[in-house]
Structure 1
Amino acid sequence: MSQVGEFNPASDPYESRPTYYIGQHDSNRWEVLTDDQYRQVLSSGFNFVTAPITNQHFFQRVVDLYKEFLQEQEEWLEKRGITAGQRANPSMPGPIVPTLTDLDTSLYPSQIIGSLITYASPWIDLCSSNPHISSISRQVLNLEVAYANFCGARTIVIPGPRSDGSGPGVAQYARAIQEALQQVSRANLIIHLPMYREPGLEEKAETLSSIFNTDTTAEQDPSKDIDIFTSWDSWHTIRTVCEYSSRLFLALRIPRRVPEKALQERWFSEPLHFLTVDQTVFQLNRAGHPSLSKHHQTLINRYMRLKNSPWLILSDVGPSAEELTRIYKQKAIEYPTLTEAASKALAKERKTNKTGINDHVAYIKHLERQQLPYTAMETPALVSFQDWLQSPLQPLADNLESATYEVFEGDPVKYDQYESAIAEAMAEWKILKKPSALGTPETPYNPELVVAVAGAGRGPLVTRVIRAAESTGTQIQLWALEKNQNAFVYLLNKNKRDWNNRVTLVKTDMRGWTGPNPKDSPGTTTCKVDILVTELLGSFGDNELSPECLDGIQNHISRPYGISIPHSYTAHLSPISTPRIYADISSRVVSDPNAFDIPYVVRLFQLDFVAQKVPGHPRFQQAWEFIHPVEVNRADDFAEVHGKAIKYVNPGGGSMYGSSGTNEHNARHCHLTFVCPTRGVIHGLAGYFESVLYESEVTGSGKDPVEISILPDQIDRKSKDMISWFPIFFPLKKPLYFPQDTELEVSMWRQTDDTKVWYEWMVEVYAWVGPKQRNKVGASEMHSSRKVACLM
């Protein structure tokens, strides 16, 4: 048997893992590899290579251009008697970089251009405080990206700012990237940034600023603590200025020392395209081969679980251009002379390069094989749903299709939990000898129970009720209600084929059902239901109107002993950063002005939970709860006394504005406080739910409730691998930035006007400025889903 994490195709041919695509980058490379050199790199195990857009000739031409400008400027000042300390004329024209020539580049349109990762010049300085150098750098960048785009390049990597800070540098850089995006029509721009400012992790090339001694960047003080979030601050500025462009991505430099978990998760939520690993990050193991620490392995494996997993670029580990030329010439010697064949150097080199695979590539391939296989929650279908937005279902207003039901039925975990809850309820009914619906005043307890499944769909819960009754030896009269006439046809057939006509089927909306008629007394009035089973829950628990549906049928539950499964459910919230989803919603606003007021069902994956768990303020906080059964003021009861309520159709403020208020008991409000010790940005609120299907009624039984949960920190304990419900996402129209040591105040309302249900939400930011004082530093606008409300 293979060990955990060890790949053995013979043991399980169906196991699969994320695939690593490995590229090579040479920081000293000035020329695009020739076809022969390119083939040599691929034969050593790499999948792709980087290619400089311009060469050393162009670099020298730009340097000479600036030197000439400085000389001309000095001569101009001397002629006018202006000394260095006096102010020069700001209207003097600056240097203009001429267009590229064939001597400035070795990059041309070719069949392999699409597989080359083009790399912009690392010597430009877009952040320079010298206006002429920053202008030259911007001109060079525009020339390069435009030419690479012309050649057919689809990916252009641009070295990021060399430093962060509060000065104008990063803003200048961001503005230049925004302009560069306008220069290219199809190519993606990838900003190359370090995970944090670890010394030695920057580009090795000199910049124009350092060459001309105009570099004002302060040296990193080794004795000073490193603020590990400054690099992310720069990235946030860049992508904000670029309005979260769908063609702007990130290449992340992995440091020698892996940072704390909070920063890892922050970068995990960003649009990663490449992870770059420098030669200095690797360590030699006992056998003298390159390797990475366990922390590096964990980080890489974590990032590779993304649907669009980043590609790996190994920097300065592969053969240089000179080595590639030498290797090619060596392999071209088909018939070496006796002297060459006897050469110890040649023999040694051929022995050590027997496989031809680069040592670093071989190690990365080893890590690829050592990954844990995809889990039950990482099937191809589920991975495809990562961060894919879906509008919530309207189960009361719309009839679902068979394929939708089939998706729901593909989750055995949910139905196993339901069956356990039903079986436990039936077993305890016997133990407690509770009065039943078919009982009489003389004999309240009757071993035969009346069970109803409301909203039966295609019948999976009906099957589980029958199985629970058989496992506990319980006699039941089973009723199944379904309003979807198409699904009802399916139920009729299933009742004959699988259930032996043991189920009484009723095509009706559960809210209008008049109740069951006992089978042994068909002429009598309706009786009550002992156990009512429903699966009306949504991603937020109540967002598919489970409370409203149960209000219309729970009057048929026998009191006080009748049971509702589920018994209760709670909604939970947590503020999150999810740039990818925000960018997706932003692209929809043109066609749908309400895009930011829609709560989306989405399998949240590439995100950062910005709040931390502290005493009294957990990361996931309960918004509200619903418990069933409950006495309610039903609409038909209201009508009998007061007449039919008039529905006010103009925009209103809830149930007390032109409506009867019969659904007011299902309105909710919460105000939650989340603690954020590190600075960041949120794009919305993640919503989850938990439900107690059944809680033991036997005193002192010591049994845990039968529960289901989609809370990230509870799902494995309560309903592991359950996939029936994805979380819900409440977006913010504008990303909300917050400084460190802040508190996020989340307010949310569940509103109703007796015809529909909607949510309203807002977030406020408070920063602590003293031991007992905090100031409000930001807030979102009030959002409302009223225009896309769930219809009752």
Structure 2
Amino acid sequence: MASSQPLAGEADSSSPLEEFMPTFYIGHHESKRPLPVTDFVLRQAQDAGYDMLTSPITSPYFHSRVLTLVSAYLAEISQLDSSNDPNSTRAPPTPIIPPLTPVDTPLTPGDTLSQLIAYCSPWIDLCSSDPLISNISRQVLNIEIAYASFCGVGNIIIPGPRNYSSGSKDNNGIIQYARAIQEALTIGSYMQMAIHIPMYGQEEVKDMTGDLQPFARNHSSSGKQKASKEIDLFETWDAWNFIRSVCKYNSRLSVALGLPRQLPVESLQSRWFAEPLRLLSFTPATFLKNKGGHPVLSKAHQNLLSRYMRLKQPPWLLLSDVGPVPGLDDPIQLSATADGFPSPSTVADASRSVSPTPAEAADASKEPSKSKYKSKDPAHLIYMRYLQRNQPPRTAIEKFGSGYQDYLQAPLQPLTDNLESVTYEVFEKDPVKYDWYERAIAQALSDWTRQSKPTSSPSGAVVIAVAGSGRGPLVTRALRASQMTGVDVEVWAVEKNPNAYVLLQRHNEMDWGGVVNVIKSDMRAWKGPLLSSKPESPHGKVDILVSELLGSFGDNELSPECLDGVQHVLAPQFGISIPSSYTAHLTPILAPRLHADIAHRAVTDTTATETPYVVMLHAIDYLATSVPDHPRIQQAWEFVHPLPASTLAVAEARRGGGVSGGGGGSMSGGDGANEHNTRYSRTKFVCRDRGVVNGLAGYFEAVLYDGGEQGKVELSTRPDTIDAKSKDMISWFPIFFPLENPLYYPDDSELEVSIWRQTDDRKVWYEWIVEAFVMIGPEKRMRLGMSEVGSSRKVGCLM
């Protein structure tokens, strides 16, 4: 049985254009916007093709007022220091910024605010080691957040830290910055806040008139010296992770990511893909110039944009300092509108298709803009609208899962719950799985005949039982396999769901010609095919037992226990189980969105952090990769069917509480009857880049039938093997084992994952733990940390 899926596939009736094209919400930002954003300015921007504008919260007048306050305080301190008065050793208290006045801010409550993104002052320095500067900066931030919140601003951008290093000896400002953001979230209790952070490196801040940083009394040029050293690619991500961790993964805190001219390694691109991206910020330096002098993006940037815009909530796009909004100086003058249909020369690719080298990127960013297009045309916007119209179409899996990426679902309880028809219907939308089952049954039938095996039917037909028939798709495929191979079959459909039983009988009458024997029974209680000709031995055996009991982790919907219970009807010598085996696989992942969602649920649900969820993993990052986007996924364990008869005999003896059993199972209270289905594995993952483990992604592979020289018929949900084994199969989403608290680890660490499949003979559950190690010598490791033991015992699958 496939895992619980939403009705994701029903939303495919839209037009071709709507089907593939993500919406690009594009904004315009000027770091020194000269005019307040009025209704007229907004209309001109909309006519050009922009969706939103940024607006500073405070004015240059407020800025000068703060500078005057700081200068006066520093002068007072200096005067005290130079005097010889013994009573003047104590510094006066830090000044308090007076309340805003109308000239201090261009914002006022009104209808236009819904199309504005407020931008906090970039001249403050929350990271300053000078208490005066950090205090004044916090005051400015709090005043701006409070006033923007009062006006009704919904979205705000806060410039990122001025120094991203949390590990250097001379800077501890990142904790001050994080604390200030935590306070801001409290003040603006309904606002969405995005921290403006470069993808990597330190954004070169142009000299700002009135910047507070130089006022710091211990100000040095250490930042410039650091810029000459080798760039730590993951340093800005590390800073972001620290900030959001201090803010406890607040759902209103996100990233405004600055895209550089030269993109970093793919592993860092994947890391940012997993984060809550609110905005992607483009400056003129991000673009190349084509032969016509028009701004275009490199192929690498185009691919990154296409990938990021496929997020469940695509980020907005912000064009920063690309020129003023057209038509503000002369509204009558006509200017181009970004409609997505520019001339070919406007959007022709640049001569190079890759990102420039670091030296080229640095040189280009210093050059004055030289282009042939008219300044009145919003050239960068025209190009972005063109990219919007030319996004690559979605894959089959993207269409099926549209809207359900990273949506947490509790796994099915197949033995205790009777599924609804609509749930079966979603399973049946996957043609690949049923095609593969049909192939497996056909191969098994052909081999049965070729090898001249005796059948369990008096008529000589091969007896097939579909255990857990649902609405009957596997029954249909078994009949098709019989027609295709020419091998006679006797089919039994066994189903415990009384509602599905009604539908199976109807199918038998209308579709299957009455040739199927439909049985209403739990498969474990079924005694086998009824032989009317042998009253002394009324029940016969089954030659091929077919089931679709697999869950997202293979065994998590109790396939082993169900097949153990029905194995007694399988012909002991030649009987075949389809599937014949399945394996569980896992890998550690960064999944901040899932962690935040689960933490929110945990407020009202005490089992939220202990539930293994079925989820279409999307905005995640694989932490152990051989090459980017090729995760290292390792096998945890395997189940094989049918089991040796001796194993089932021992289990039955224990269940009876006889000599072999009696309360001695590995879990307290069990008699050990299901002990053979417990499992344990410990796997090691080498992680080159620092990161945070939010949980484990689980997958499975199954061998439906092993045809020897003819090959195996296999299913896989592993992202690295699904294309080779069962391409485009959509029946199963992965499983996610969450960690209650994220586990941070540095570069070049080893993660060790221990996971158990436990049982007390009444239910089955999982327990898991992750440990982080670092090598401190050729043969010695140090444990850096470990997660809590996760346990799904409270929500385990009942047997």
TM-score higher than 0.5: yes
Letter in 2 for 1:162: R
Relative to 1, partners in 2 of residues 1:704 and 1:636: Cα closer, same or farther, differing over 3 Å?
Answer: closer
Corresponding residue of 1:720? 727
Distance 1:776 1:152, change over 3 A: same
Cα separation, 2, equivalents of 1:225 and 1:546: 53
1:405 shift after superposition: 1.0
Q: Does structure 2 conserve the Cα–Cα contact (< 8 Å) formed by 1:45 and 1:357?
A: no
AA in 2 matched with 1:716: D
Out of 37, 40, 43, the position equivalent to 2:41 is 37
Note closer, same or farther for the CA distance 1:206–1:164 as it changes in structure 2 (3 Å cut).
Answer: farther
Contact kept in structure 2, 1:77 and 1:88, CA below 8 Å: yes
CA change 1:202–1:612 in 2 (3 A) is farther
1:197 and 2:214 equivalent? no
Cα RMSD, aligned residues only = 2.6
Q: Does 1:328 align with 2:324?
A: no
Structure 2 CA distance for partners of 1:16 and 1:202, relative to 1, 3 Å: farther
Deviations 1:769-792 (A, max 9, x none): 223222111111211111111100
**Which residue matches 1:98?**
98
Structure 1 residue 324: Cα displacement: 4.4
Residue 633 of structure 1: which of 648, 657, 672 is its match? 648
Give the Cα separation in 1 of the matches to 2:381 and 2:631. 43
Is 1:751 aligned to residue 751 of structure 2?
Answer: no
Cα distance, 1:12 vs structure 2: 5.5
What code does the residue aligned with 1:156 have?
I
**Deviation, structure 1 residue 215:** 3.5
**Residue of structure 1 equivalent to 2:291:** 286
Match of 2:52 among 48, 53, 57: 48
Shift of 1:756: 0.3
Q: Which amino acid aligns with 2:403?
A: S
Provide the residue aligned with 1:308 in structure 2.
313
The unaligned stretches of length 5 or more in structure 2 are 1-14, 336-371
Q: 1:28 aligns with which of 23, 26, 32?
A: 32
Equivalent position amino acid for 2:59 in 1: N
CA contact (8 A) 1:178 1:242 kept: yes
Q: 1:527 deviation in Å?
A: 1.5
2:257 maps to: 252
Select the residue among 701, 705, 715 that pairs with 1:708: 715
User: Over residues 16-69 of structure 1, what are the superposed CA-to-partner deviations in whole Å (9 max), with x where a residue is unaligned?
Assistant: 222211111111115432221221112112111111111101101100111111
Give yes or no for the alignment of 1:603 onto 2:590. Answer: no
Aligned to 2:174: 170
Distance 2:271 2:207 in 1: 23
- CA drift of 1:370 comes to 2.5
Q: Which residue of 2 aligns with 1:228?
A: 233
Distance 1:327 1:34 in 2: 16
1:718 Cα offset (Å): 1.2
Bigger drift between 40-49 and 513-522 goes to 513-522
1:36–1:328 CA contact under 8 A, matched in 2: no
- The 8 Å contact of residues 48 and 116 in structure 1, kept in 2 or not, is answered as yes
SS at match of 1:541: coil
* Residue 409 (structure 1) aligned with residue 409 (structure 2): no
Q: Deviations over 1:74-113 (max 9, x none)?
A: 3344455369xxx9526x3101011111001111111120
Please tell me the residue identity of whatever aligns with 1:471.
Answer: M
For 2:638, the aligned partner's letter is E
Q: How far has the Cα of 1:654 moved from its partner?
A: 5.6
TM-score normalized with structure 2 length: 0.88
Deviation for aligned residue 1:723: 1.2
Q: CA deviation at 1:207?
A: 2.7
- The residue identity in structure 1 corresponding to 2:795 is V
Q: How big is each residue's C-alpha offset from its partner over 1:208-257, in whole Å with a ceiling of 9 and x where there is no partner?
A: 01256753452144552110111011101100000000110110000111
Tell me if 1:378 matches 2:404: no
Using the alignment, how far apart are the partners of 1:357 and 1:501 within structure 2? Answer: 72
Q: Is the 8 A contact 1:539 1:725 kept in 2?
A: yes
Q: Could you say if the C-alpha distance between residues 512 and 202 of structure 1 is closer, same or farther in structure 2, counting changes exceeding 3 Å?
A: farther
SS at match of 1:748: strand
Letter in 2 for 1:100: L
Could you say if the C-alpha distance between residues 316 and 494 of structure 1 is closer, same or farther in structure 2, counting changes exceeding 3 Å? same
Distance 2:778 2:689 in 1: 18
- Other-structure match for 2:683: 672
Q: Which residue of 2 aligns with 1:19?
A: 23
- Correspondence 1:398-547 to 2 at 5 A: 398-438=417-457, 447-518=460-531, 524-547=537-560
SS in structure 1 opposite 2:671?
coil
| Counterpart residue number, 1:342 | none
CA distance, structure 2, for counterparts of residue 492 and residue 599 of structure 1: 35
Question: 1:624 is matched with which residue?
Answer: 637
Q: 1:778 to 1:192 in 2, by over 3 A?
A: same
| 1:186–1:509 CA distance, 2 compared to 1 (3 A) | same
Q: Secondary structure at the match of 1:506?
A: strand
The corresponding residue for 2:348 is none
Aligned to 2:776: 769
1:518 to partner: Cα distance = 3.9
Aligned match of 1:7: none
Q: Which segment drifts farther, 130-139 or 370-379?
A: 370-379
Query: Deviations for 1:253-307, whole angstroms, at most 9, x for unmatched residues?
Result: 0011100011111111110000001111111101211111111111111111101
Identity %: 52
User: What TM-score results when the alignment is normalised by the length of structure 1?
Assistant: 0.89
Q: Secondary structure at the match of 1:633?
A: helix
In structure 2, the CA distance between the partners of 1:304 and 1:203, relative to structure 1 (3 Å rule), is farther
Shift of 1:411: 1.1
Whole-angstrom CA distance in 1 between matches of 2:517 and 2:441: 19
In structure 2, the CA distance between the partners of 1:528 and 1:245, relative to structure 1 (3 Å rule), is same
Q: Partners in 1 of 2:160 and 2:210 — Cα distance?
A: 14
Match of 2:72 among 45, 68, 73: 68
CA deviations 1:739-764 (Å, max 9, x no partner) are 11110010000000111001011011
Query: Match for 1:262: what amino acid?
Result: S
- Report the CA distance between 1:559 and its aligned residue: 2.3
Question: In structure 2, what is the Cα distance between the partners aligned to 1:108 and 1:63?
Answer: 24
- Is 1:551 paired with 2:556? no
- Quick one: distance in 2 between partners of 1:45 and 1:112? 16
Residue pair 1:20, 1:311 contacting (<8 A) in 2 also: yes
Would the aligned equivalents of 2:591 and 2:621 in 1 still touch at CA under 8 Å? Answer: yes
Partner of 2:469: helix, strand, or coil?
Answer: coil
Hey, what's the Cα distance between the residues in 2 that align with 1:584 and 1:645?
Answer: 46
Superposition map of 1:311-390 within 5 A: 311-319=316-324, 324-328=327-331, 330=333, 358-379=378-399, 382-390=401-409
Q: Is the 8 A contact 1:194 1:201 kept in 2?
A: no
SS, match of residue 100 in structure 2: coil
1:27 and 1:678 map into 2 onto residues whose CA distance is 34
The residue identity in structure 2 corresponding to 1:718 is K
Could you say what secondary structure the match of 2:261 adopts?
coil
Alpha carbons of structure 1 residues 506 and 191: separation in structure 2 relative to 1, 3 Å: same
**Maintained 8 Å contact 2:655/2:671:** no
Q: Any idea what SS the aligned residue of 2:193 has? A: strand
SS of 1:453 mapped into structure 2: strand
Corresponding residue to 2:786 among 771, 774, 779: 779
How far 1:644 sits from its partner (Å)?
A: 12
Assess, with a 3 A threshold, how the Cα gap between structure 1 residues 469 and 607 changes in structure 2: closer, same or farther.
same
1:239 to 217, 231, 244: 244
Change (3 A) 1:107 1:732: same
Please state how far the C-alpha of 1:327 moved relative to its aligned partner: 2.5
